[in-house]
Amino acid sequence: MAEEHGTTIDTSSAATVSDAVDVVGAAIVRDGRVLCARRGDGKSLAGYWEFPGGKVKPGESRREALRREIEEELLCEVIIADEVCTSVQRYDFGTVQLTTFICHLESGTPHLTEHQEIRWEHPKDMPSLDWAPADREAVRLIASMDLARR
């Protein structure tokens, strides 16, 4: 892996950002804890933990896509704050470029619709979960943040 300007690139493959699917993830913070979501059975990367989110549609900004995805996936609304990082990960099904943002609940309570489990974790405890490879750089960075003030 190589890291440049907050971007992690899997240099072990010939993947480039131009062939990657653009995806966004929300590290939703509440009372100093972060919402972690476990992918459901029957999905790619089933059982791995991730930050909820999804694909950016043509014509959407990453922030617009994230707001839409959280409304669809968790049935709540978020305020999107700082960008954490962008990582590029090659999987057997393709290449994913994931941009993760710190977010805060604006309204509603997260509900399970696509994930098998969600939980609020202290940032320092997040690395103990089995994260999807594309999310691991953001987890590493968030684990060292003081989110009580954010």
We report the CATH number of the domain holding residue 34 as 3.90.79.10
Instruction: Classify residue 30 by its DSSP letter.
Output: E
Q: Which residues constitute the domain of residue 42?
A: 2-149
Cα angle value 33/35/40 (rounded, 5°) = 155
Tokens matching residue 100: 């993760």
Count of domains observed in the chain: 1
At residue 19, the pLDDT reads 83
pLDDT of 149? 53
* φ, ψ at 76 (rounded to 5°): -145, 175
CB distance 28 to 78 below 8 Å: yes
Cβ(51)–Cβ(87) under 8 Å? no
SS3 letters for 77-145?
EEEEEEEEEEEEEEECCEEEEEEEEEEEEEECCCCCCCEEEEEEECHHHHHHCCECHHHHHHHHHHHCC
Give me the residues paired with residue 39 across strands.
115
- Tens-binned pLDDT, residue by residue, of the chain (150 aa): 443 334 444 433 344 566 899 999 999 999 999 999 999 888 889 899 999 999 999 999 999 999 999 999 999 999 999 999 999 999 998 999 999 999 999 999 999 898 999 999 999 999 999 999 999 999 999 999 988 654
Q: What is the pLDDT of residue 140?
A: 97
